[in-house]
Amino acid sequence: MRFGSRQVITAAVTIMLATALEMGQRALAARGESPAAFDGRCIPGGCVAPPSNTPGILGRRALPAGRLARLGATPDFHRGLLAQRGQAAAPTKPMMVEDVFKNVQALKGIGVDDFLLTMGIMSAAVGSDCVGCHPSAGTDHVDWALDTPRKRTARRMVQMVTAINRDTFSGRQVVTCWTCHRGRDRPVTTMTLDVVYGPPTDESDDVLTQAQGVPSVDQVLNKYLQAIGGAQNVARVTSFVATGKSVGYRGFGGGGVVDVSAQAPDKRATHISFPEYADRGVSVRTYDGRTGWIATPLAVVPKYELAGSERDGARLDAMLSFPTQIKQALTNLRVGPPSTIGDKDVTVLQGNGPNGTLATLYFDDASGLLARMVRHGRSPIGRVPTQVDYSDYRDVGGIKFPFRWTFAWLDGRDNFEFSDVKLNVPIDAAKFGEPNVAVAAPK
């Protein structure tokens, strides 16, 4: 069964072949993704993991089983999870969705990470949670393989959107779930007069073009580097370790202890521990310059290697951790039309990342500091947004570092509030590698 346009299929096949045959080749394998993954168990009445660091109504952390099974996929623990325990000594091919889940009918041939992102798009588009599709979700007797009417409808929608893009837009991904649904299970068919005569909706296009009458790319970047300490001082920073607390959206699940470590040019790791809830383990997201991992001990898939868009995003996150590398991380840089974030005027800079990813940087016009980064990854049914807001810049060794990060993705939104930042410190290479996290027992 077809799950996407010819271009998407070709991309998926290319990823699988390159990963299987060239794991040791840096140029082909270097792709990446973002901060911490959090644990999750879907429970009735909102699917908030107990206790969790995310709200989870859309996410792999707090409702993985429900969302992942939306297209009829059931975790195959006897194949997929046991495969994750494979020999650590030799590189292995990242898991494809068929290696982990049963009864995948509309989205075959993609990595586990891309499959999870795709589920996130669907959940966000229709404003759904796991209980909506899976009766008894969050209990020990839920039947994830049960084909409910809503799951069958979701499969048909994937096929419909694929056909529209193929037949009308030459395979370009123009129409997605969000195009019509906008957070509703049923699309709105008639406008309201309040909307017609109300303020216009301010939504930017994903892909920006070079605007006229705006600063040049070099002017924007030079102002930013000067604002955070000067290009020479910034270039001297080759590593950092930031520690503090992590608080989930609206405080759900209490707080955790966060450690974000980065080493130039392209390594980064985020570890979240929960001292008050030892049974939750440590949630980890790593990228070692070649490949990445996500480990969330209580999730349906407790640990997996990144293979697709998540890996591309991890590489961007790692490289953009060091501001002097913006031009190396992104190509075709352009400055878009002026915009605003809240009451701040911002200059918008966008560039292309690996394999169709995009990164858009928003710089405060007054201070020149980076206020926001939005990156878009790819999936078979639409682009996947990830957004990080930066604030509370403080001086650390002559460099201004943001002590507050707000990380939003399709699984939730989390606040990192750092209390200590150390620059140019040695970091054990193992910290960026495969997490040493035990795989949950089959259930």
What's the confidence (pLDDT) of residue 52?
33
Question: 325 burial class (0-12, 13-18, 19+ CB within 10 angstroms)?
Answer: middle
Specify whether 45 is located in the same domain as 179.
Answer: yes
Number of domains in the chain: 2
What's the confidence (pLDDT) of residue 19?
41
CATH number of the structural domain spanning residue 21: 1.10.468.10
Per the structure, the complete domain to which residue 144 belongs is given by 6-197
Specify whether 362 is located in the same domain as 251.
Answer: yes
Cβ atoms of 79 and 95 closer than 8 Å: no
Of the CA atoms within 13 Å of residue 137, those in its CB half-sphere come to 34
Q: Which residues pair with 101 in a beta bridge?
A: 75
Question: Whole-angstrom Cα distance, residue 20 to residue 37?
Answer: 25
Token digits for 363? 């710089």
Q: In this structure, is residue 212 part of a structural domain? A: no
Q: In this structure, is residue 440 part of a structural domain? A: no
Q: In this structure, is residue 208 part of a structural domain? A: no
CATH number of the structural domain spanning residue 250: 2.50.20.10
Specify whether 281 is located in the same domain as 192.
Answer: no
Q: In this structure, is residue 148 part of a structural domain? A: yes
Query: How sure is the predictor about 133, in pLDDT bands with cuts at 50, 70 and 90?
Result: confident
Q: Which residues pair with 281 in a beta bridge?
A: none
Q: In this structure, is residue 205 part of a structural domain? A: no
Specify whether 43 is located in the same domain as 171.
Answer: yes
Where is 123: in which H helix or E strand? helix 112-126
Q: Write out pLDDT tens, residues 161-183.
A: 999 999 999 999 999 999 999 88
Specify whether 185 is located in the same domain as 324.
Answer: no
For 91, residues 6+ apart whose C-beta sits below 8 A from its C-beta are: 23, 24, 291
Residue 2 has pLDDT above 50, yes or no: no
**Where are the extended beta strands (E) located within 253-369?**
255-263, 267-273, 282-287, 292-295, 303-305, 331-335, 339-341, 344-352, 358-364
Q: Write out pLDDT tens, residues 272-324.
A: 888 888 777 888 999 999 999 998 877 777 888 998 889 999 999 999 999 99
Q: In this structure, is residue 71 part of a structural domain? A: yes
Cβ atoms of 70 and 122 closer than 8 Å: yes
Question: Whole-angstrom Cα distance, residue 27 to residue 322?
Answer: 20
DSSP calls for 27-48: HHH-----S--------TTT--
Last residue of a domain, one of 138, 168, 197: 197
